Amino acid sequence: MVQFDDNPARKNIVELRNIKQTYDGGQNWIIENLDLIIEDKPNQGQFVVILGMSGSGKSTLLRYIAGLQEPSSGLVKLNDRPLGDDNRASMVFQQYSSLPWMTVLENVALALQYKGISRKEREAKAMEIIKTMGLEGHENKYAQYPTLSGGQLQRVAIGRSLLANSNILLMDEPFGALDIKTRLHMQDLLTSLWRKFQSTIIFVTHDIAEAVYLADDIYILRANPGQVAKHIHVDLPLERDRNTKRDPRFIELVHEVEDAMIELTEVVRSE
C-alpha cells in the first residue's frame, strides 16, 4: 500500500483517509483502508491519473471528491476543509454530461447559475471559456449529438466544469468514446488547459499510454478491497507532444505501469 507522509505543514488539495465502503452493512468491503493524499501545488497545478482494474473503486473515489457520495467511514477533505456546497469538485463523465435541450452557451453558463452572478456576466464568462475550448461559432447550437460531435460535446462538459471550479477537475474515462484522432487532440487540449488554469486534474482511464502521456503522478488501485496500491511518478519533461511517445523513458514507464497492474491482479487471484 502507498504510505503518505503526515507532514502538518503540507497543504493538501485532496485528502482521503482510511476510507471504507460497504453496500451490505459490512459483509463485503468494496474499499478498505484507502488513503489518497494529493498535495496542493498552487500556481502550478498537476495531473494525477488513477488506474486500476474494473471494480477497484475508481469512479467511487471520484464521486467522494465531487460530493456525490459519502463513504461508509473515513475522512474526505478538499483544500484542507471538509466537503460542502462551496467546496466540491466538478466531474466530467465518460458519457456526455451536457443537457441536450440547452445550447452550448447555456450549458457552460449553467456552472455559474446559483452563484449570484447576472445572466449577462455569466454568458460573458461562458463565452470566454467557449473560445478557450475551440467551440466559438457553436455557442447557439443545442448540446446534443449529432448536432455536435462526441469530442465537441466533451469540450462543452469540460468547459462547464472549468467554469464551475477550475481548481480541481475530475474526469472519469472522459475520452473512452472518442475516435483516436479526436482523443489525441483532446489529450493535448487538456494538457494546455491545466497549465493555463493551474488546475489539479484527477483523471481515470484504462489506457496506460494515455495515463503516462498525461500524468505527473499515477496511482494504481488494487481491487477486493479497493486500495491505493502503487504510486508511479512520471519523470518525463513537462512539455509533451507526439515525440514524447517515442522517448525510451516513456516506453519504459508504460511497461512499468503494465507490469504493476498485472502483478496486482495476480495478487488478488492467488488469495
Residue 65 makes contact with ligand ATP by CB under 6 A: no
Map residues 43-82 to x or -, x wherever contact with Mg ion holds by CB under 5 A.
Answer: ----------------x-----------------------
CB of 19 to ligand ATP, least distance (A): 12
Question: Of the two residues 132 and 227, which places its CB atom closer to ligand ATP in the complex?
Answer: 227
Residue 56 makes contact with ligand ATP by CB under 6 A: yes
Of the candidate spans 51-59, 97-105, 111-119, 228-236, the one that interacts with ligand ATP by CB under 6 A turns out to be 51-59
Residue 268 makes contact with ligand ATP by CB under 6 A: no
In the set 14, 30, 109, 212, which binds ligand ATP (CB under 6 A)?
A: 30
Residue 101 makes contact with ligand ATP by CB under 6 A: no
Of the candidate spans 58-66, 163-171, 233-241, 257-265, the one that interacts with ligand ATP by CB under 6 A turns out to be 58-66
Tell me the CA distances in angstroms from 111 to 33, 104, 116, 142, 201, one per residue in order: 34, 12, 11, 17, 18
Q: Tell me which amino acid residue 247 is.
A: D
Residue 174 makes contact with ligand ATP by CB under 6 A: no
CB of 204 to Mg ion, least distance (A): 6
Of the candidate spans 2-10, 48-56, 73-81, 154-162, the one that interacts with ligand ATP by CB under 6 A turns out to be 48-56
Question: Of the two residues 62 and 190, which places its CB atom closer to ligand ATP in the complex?
Answer: 62
Q: How would you write the chain as a 3-class SS string?
A: CCCCCCCCCCCEEEEEEEEEEECCCCCCEEEEEEEEEEECCCCCCEEEEEEECCCCCHHHHHHHHCCCCCCCEEEEEECCEECECCECCEEECCCCCCCCCCEHHHHHHHHHCCCCCCHHHHHHHHHHHHHHCCCCCCCCCECCCCCCCHHHHHHHHHHHHHHHCCCEEEEECCCCCCCHHHHHHHHHHHHHHHHHHCCEEEEECCCHHHHHHHCCEEEEEECCCEEEEEEEECCCCCCCCHHHHHCHHHHHHHHHHHHHHHHHHHHHHHC
CB of 221 to Mg ion, least distance (A): 11
CB of 170 to ligand ATP, least distance (A): 12
Number of amino acids touching Mg ion (CB under 5 A): 1
Number of amino acids touching ligand ATP (CB under 6 A): 10
Residue 137 makes contact with ligand ATP by CB under 6 A: no
In the set 57, 71, 74, 151, which binds ligand ATP (CB under 6 A)?
A: 57
For the beta carbon of residue 81, count every other beta carbon within 10 angstroms. Answer: 10
